[in-house]
Amino acid sequence: MSNNQNQDPTRYESFSNLLNQYNVIVDGAEVHGILCGMLAGGMTLDDQNWIEALADVTNQGEPFAEDLKRIIIETYNQICQQFIEPDFALTLCLPDDASPINERGQALTHWVQGFLLGFGLHQADLTKCSEDVKEALEDFSQIARMDEQMSEDEESEQAFFEVVEYVRISAMLCFNELGKSLLDSAPQSQVFH
């Protein structure tokens, strides 16, 4: 079963390689997760400090090189667009289906850890969150701690696909509740930076 409609596999490889080339301490999945979490946690669109906040947590506080910064801004703009599209368009930055399942599982764990970090940077008060969002965040905490090895079989593939889909839908749920009002006033063609 292919789940590439929810991912951009070429993006994961090239993004992770670029991050590695510039000695950034996390992979493409985690950076993507952080950006999604920041937006889903309610970061305002006029917050021009998001790239510095990202550098603080992923690049030991050092500014990103211009080439890398450009790709990160493109990724951020793509995430913003996917979040505001009406057809649940968010794609997770994960390895492709041909990659070993444990590699994909580790990348998913990194994505979820990144999401929780980014979310926490902008949403410390969970009392105003719905029960659905609280439950999703609790599930994300459990997913972030998963480290068991999976076997390469159809049952594991199906289970992995279901977890990826749950994470994707839950991230959009968080965004729709806490971040969407921030984007309602933004024109569809606006470029975020």
Beta bridge partners of 92: 7
Domain that holds residue 73: 4-184
Q: Is 7 helix (H, G, I), strand (E, B) or coil?
A: strand
- Would 141 be classed as within a structural domain? yes
Domain with 13 in it: what CATH number? 1.20.120.740
Distance CA 15, CA 37 (A): 18
Instruction: Provide the 8-state DSSP code for 62.
Output: P
- Would 162 be classed as within a structural domain? yes
- Would 191 be classed as within a structural domain? no
pLDDT in tens, 6-33: 444 458 999 999 999 999 989 999 999 9
Distance CA 168, CA 35 (A): 14
- Would 91 be classed as within a structural domain? yes
Mean pLDDT of the 46-53 span? 85
Instruction: Provide the 8-state DSSP code for 75.
Output: H
The answer to whether residue 90 scores a pLDDT higher than 60 is yes
- Would 193 be classed as within a structural domain? no
- Would 93 be classed as within a structural domain? yes
The answer to whether residue 123 scores a pLDDT higher than 60 is yes
- Would 189 be classed as within a structural domain? no
Cβ distance 84 to 179 under 8 Å? Answer: no
Please tell me the predicted confidence (pLDDT) of residue 9: 42
- Would 97 be classed as within a structural domain? yes
Beta bridge partners of 7: 92
The answer to whether residue 37 scores a pLDDT higher than 80 is yes
- Number of structural domains found in the chain: 1
